[in-house]
Amino acid sequence: MAVHSYRLVTEEEYLKHERQAQTKSEYVRGEIFALAGDSASHNTITVNLVASLHTQLRGTGCRVWVNDMRVRVVEAGAYFYPDVVVVCGQPQFLDEHQDTLLNPMLIVEVLSPSTEAFDRGEKSFYYRRLSSLREYLLVSQDRVRIERYVRQANGEWLLHDYTEPGQIVRLESLGVEMPVAQIYEGIDFADLR
């Protein structure tokens, strides 16, 4: 992520700017980070995830949002735009603008070369501080690899890896199953080399 500003800004300044901006930026403890555009593979994987989740969650009281819904992590003083967010029950928003969620149950990040280290490290650490979060997926776009983190009853996180197209990702908190092959449908890994 490239730093977009050189002085620390308040959350209020960030939100005021972000709500008027033509491009998206994330915010962590006073710093603003501009977001780059996504690749065709990134978009294809995101669409596959959203389509599957939306279809399976119809009528359950859960809603699926795609990358324009901001999430606030209060404990981190941060605002992020996950690739996919699911909320079950009543969504809690920061304010009347209803553009910043406070209670995601599932967050999915499709990894990009420029953001993978941050998504795996600091951002993952921050997301796992959300008390509402039950599952967190990291989805590689350059190979078949999905990492599913599941919050345990004791608050610890358990990792499940999926590296084969024939495997099934079971999102237990949502009662949803997604074949790995379906998540990667339309991706030709030979084209990515």
Better pLDDT: 123 or 193: 123
Q: Flag the least confident range among 74-78, 81-85, 111-115.
A: 111-115
- The beta-carbon contacts of 186-190 under 8 Å, at least 24 apart in sequence, are 186/44, 186/48, 187/41, 187/44, 187/45, 187/141, 189/142, 189/143, 189/144
The whole-number average pLDDT for the span 143-166 is 97
**pLDDT at residue 7, rounded to an integer:** 76
**pLDDT at residue 109, rounded to an integer:** 97
**pLDDT at residue 6, rounded to an integer:** 62
Best CA proximity match to 174, nearest among 88, 54, 85, 82: 88
Above pLDDT 70, what percent of the chain?
A: 95
Cα atoms in the 13 Å half-sphere on the side-chain side of 25? 23
pTM score, two decimals? 0.92
| Residue length of the chain | 193
**pLDDT at residue 115, rounded to an integer:** 86
Task: Give the pLDDT confidence of 42-52 residue by residue, as tens digits.
Answer: 999 999 999 99
The model's confidence at residue 117, banded by pLDDT at 50, 70 and 90, is: very high
Could you tell me whether strands 135-139 and 146-151 are parallel, antiparallel, or unpaired per DSSP bridges?
Answer: antiparallel
Name residue, tokens 């009662």.
175
Neighbour-count burial for 48-65, b at 16+ CB within 10 Å, e otherwise:
bbbebbeebbeeeebbbb
The whole-number average pLDDT for the span 93-101 is 97
Q: Is 137 exposed, middle or buried (0-12, 13-18, 19+ CB in 10 A)?
A: buried
Task: Give the pLDDT confidence of 13-24 residue by residue, as tens digits.
Answer: 999 999 999 999
Q: Is 171:180 a contact under the CB 8 Å cutoff?
A: no
H or E segment and range at residue 120: helix 116-120
Judge whether residue 71 has pLDDT over 70.
Answer: yes
Distance separating alpha carbons of residues 2 and 39, to the nearest angstrom: 17
**pLDDT at residue 5, rounded to an integer:** 44
Q: What domains can you pick out in the chain, each with its CATH number?
A: 38-192 (3.90.1570.10)
**pLDDT at residue 191, rounded to an integer:** 59
Q: Is 163:144 a contact under the CB 8 Å cutoff?
A: yes
